């Protein structure tokens, strides 16, 4: 198979982290408002998406419940077997190239020794030349083997591409036939209204709480869509590595940095949802007022930690920005946007902590209408 030499540009990485969640948010909200319902069991758009992302292994044919998927699977297995041979031959070629360089170096050294009058130099030169001739013969044989395996891999790849091109042309007809024999089935399964219902900031007791809830809700939903980006990137990495013998130098780094930022920016949202890990075996048995007292007392330690995180995070970010810091890898991505997530995440988490403290104080001052639970959702 041909190699893939794509390296993710930095501008595309940062642009994707911003634009993809925005587009996903817009599409999701639009579908929620329109209450889009799939009136056909098989979707042409989904079939084309599967063809584009997994057509080389026949995923689109599996979606259409076609036995032709077996042919794609067989071809894919053959490609994997050929790729194994290609990798082994490449290692042999690399070894022979090293031996060639060593033999040439010994010939050059022997020639210099002859010029210097070394009596043993002619014998060393003959041995080196003989060794170089042997290595050249092996190189010719291995090169022929490498060409054969490369040709086999290229041929199999072209066959798969041809089948995918044919299916791309025939897909509307294939989807139409499948829809004629299938009917739409109602989705049956476990449903949890408490989880599926949307958080309602309007039920927060104070305006400050409502504003903070909306802000953290926006950031929480934005970084949640980053998980979809991870699926796409790691999918590309697996295909590039095992189908095209072209592992990337950016996929793993870009994703673990992204997940680090996701962890920081989602802190306030998780606190809003009451999903942080905590030991509440005894706390759960207390009255609302007692819980509020405990929250107010322990919030002192919370704000000390958050202030420390905010100050040190800003120092890390500012130092990185001043020197235009990049990673120590071949990809060399900018580090200052990543470190900016530290103080920004601290601010979001601190704001949510203040919102919770406001409700705790309201409970202590006798406001019975305030609910301490962080999950404010509509009833029913």
Q: What is the pLDDT of residues 58-113, one digit of tens each?
A: 889 999 988 989 999 999 889 888 888 888 888 888 888 898 889 888 888 888 88
> Does 65 share its domain with 169?
yes
The larger pLDDT score, comparing residue 117 to residue 156, is at 156
Range of the domain at 177: 40-181
Question: C-alpha distances in angstroms, 41 versus 33, 81, 189, 226, 354?
Answer: 22, 36, 17, 29, 49
Whether 14 is covered by a domain: the verdict is no
pLDDT given at position 307: 95
State the average pLDDT over residues 233-250.
85
Question: Do 161 and 265 reside in the same domain of the chain?
Answer: no
Domain boundary among 138, 154, 181: 181
Half-sphere exposure of 175 (CA within 13 A, CB side): 18
Distance between CA 284 and CA 353 in Å, rounded? 19
pLDDT for 15 equals 94
270-328 tens-digit pLDDT: 988 887 777 677 777 778 788 888 888 988 999 999 999 999 999 999 999 999 999 98
Q: If pLDDT is split at 50, 70 and 90, which confidence band does 375 have?
A: very low
What is the predicted pLDDT for the residue at 128? 85
Q: Which residue has the tokens 């202590």?
A: 364
32, part of any domain: no
Is 16 among the domain residues? no
Same-domain status, 162 and 49: yes
Least confident span in 16-20, 37-41, 119-123, 241-245: 37-41
Residue 251 is assigned to a structural domain of this protein? yes
311 and 263 in a common domain: yes
Same domain? For 158 and 224 the reply is no
CB atoms within 10 A of CB 22: 11
Does residue 186 surpass a pLDDT of 80?
Answer: no
For the chain, the domain total comes to 2
Q: Above 80 in pLDDT, residue 193?
A: no
Report the percent of the chain where pLDDT is more than 70: 87
* Residue 351 pLDDT > 70: yes
Residue 43 is predicted with a pLDDT of: 84
pLDDT at 153: 84
Q: Tell me if 156 sits within 8 A of 79, measured CB to CB.
A: yes
Examine the domain organization and report whether 208 and 326 are in the same domain.
yes
24 is a domain residue: no
Sequence-separated (6 or more) residues with CB below 8 Å from residue 374:
271, 272, 273, 274, 356
- Domain boundary among the residues 181, 215, 240 is at 181
φ/ψ (deg, to 5) at 120: -85, -5
Pair (174, 232) in one structural domain:
no
Please report whether residue 34 resides in a domain.
no
> Could you tell me if 177 and 283 lie in one domain?
no
Query: Is 189 within a domain?
Result: no
**Average of pLDDT values for 22-46?**
74
Provide the 8-state DSSP code for 333: -
Q: 213 with 293, same domain? A: yes
Token pair recorded at residue 10: 């930095």
Dist. CA 251–CA 7, nearest whole Å: 9
CA 268 to chain centre: 22
Give the burial string for 104-118 (b: 16+ CB within 10 Å, else e).
eebbeebeebeeeee
The predicted model gives 36-43 an average pLDDT of 67
Residue 149 belongs to a domain:
yes
Residue 117 vs residue 374, higher pLDDT = 117
Same structural domain for residues 167 and 207?
A: no
Residues 326 and 220 in one domain: yes
- Per-residue model confidence (pLDDT) at position 311: 96
CA atoms within 13 A on the CB side of 2: 6
Residues 63 and 205 in one domain: no
For residue 305, how many other CB atoms are within 10 A of its CB?
13
Closest CA to 46 of 60, 36, 34: 60
Mean pLDDT of the chain: 84
């Amino acid at each position: 198979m041909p190699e893939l030499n794509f390296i993710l540009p930095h501008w595309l990485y940062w642009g994707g982290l911003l634009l993809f969640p925005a587009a996903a948010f817009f599409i999701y909200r639009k579908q929620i408002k329109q209450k889009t319902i799939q009136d056909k069991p098989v979707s042409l758009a989904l079939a084309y998406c599967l063809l584009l992302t997994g057509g080389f292994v026949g995923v689109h044919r599996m979606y259409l419940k076609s036995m032709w998927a077996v042919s794609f699977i067989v071809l894919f297995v053959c490609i994997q077997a050929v790729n194994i041979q290609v990798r082994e031959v490449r290692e042999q070629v690399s070894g022979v190239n090293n031996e060639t360089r060593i033999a040439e170096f010994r010939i050059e050294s022997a020639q210099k020794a002859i010029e210097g009058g070394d009596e043993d130099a002619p014998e060393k030169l003959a041995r080196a030349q003989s060794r170089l001739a042997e290595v050249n013969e092996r190189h010719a044989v291995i090169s022929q083997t490498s060409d054969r395996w490369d040709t086999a891999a290229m041929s199999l790849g072209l066959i798969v591409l041809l089948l995918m091109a044919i299916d791309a042309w025939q897909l509307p007809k294939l989807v139409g036939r499948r829809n004629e024999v299938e009917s739409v089935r109602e989705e049956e399964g476990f449903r949890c209204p408490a989880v599926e219902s949307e958080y309602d900031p309007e039920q927060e007791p104070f305006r400050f709480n409502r504003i903070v809830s909306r802000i953290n809700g926006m950031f929480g939903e934005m970084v949640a869509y980053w998980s979809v980006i991870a699926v796409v990137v790691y999918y590309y990495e697996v295909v590039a590595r095992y189908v095209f013998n072209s592992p990337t130098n950016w996929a793993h780094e870009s994703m673990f940095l992204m997940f680090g930022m996701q962890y920081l920016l989602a802190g306030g949202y998780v606190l809003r949802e009451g999903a942080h890990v905590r030991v509440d075996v005894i706390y759960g048995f207390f009255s609302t007022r007692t819980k509020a007292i405990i929250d107010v007392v322990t919030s002192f330690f919370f704000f000390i930690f958050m202030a420390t995180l905010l100050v040190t995070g800003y120092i890390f970010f500012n130092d990185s920005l001043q020197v235009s810091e990049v990673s120590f890898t071949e990809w060399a991505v900018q580090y200052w946007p990543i470190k900016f997530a530290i103080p920004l995440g601290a601010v979001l988490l601190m704001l949510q902590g203040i919102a919770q403290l406001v409700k705790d104080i309201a409970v202590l001052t006798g406001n019975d209408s305030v609910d301490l639970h962080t999950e404010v959702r509509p009833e029913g």
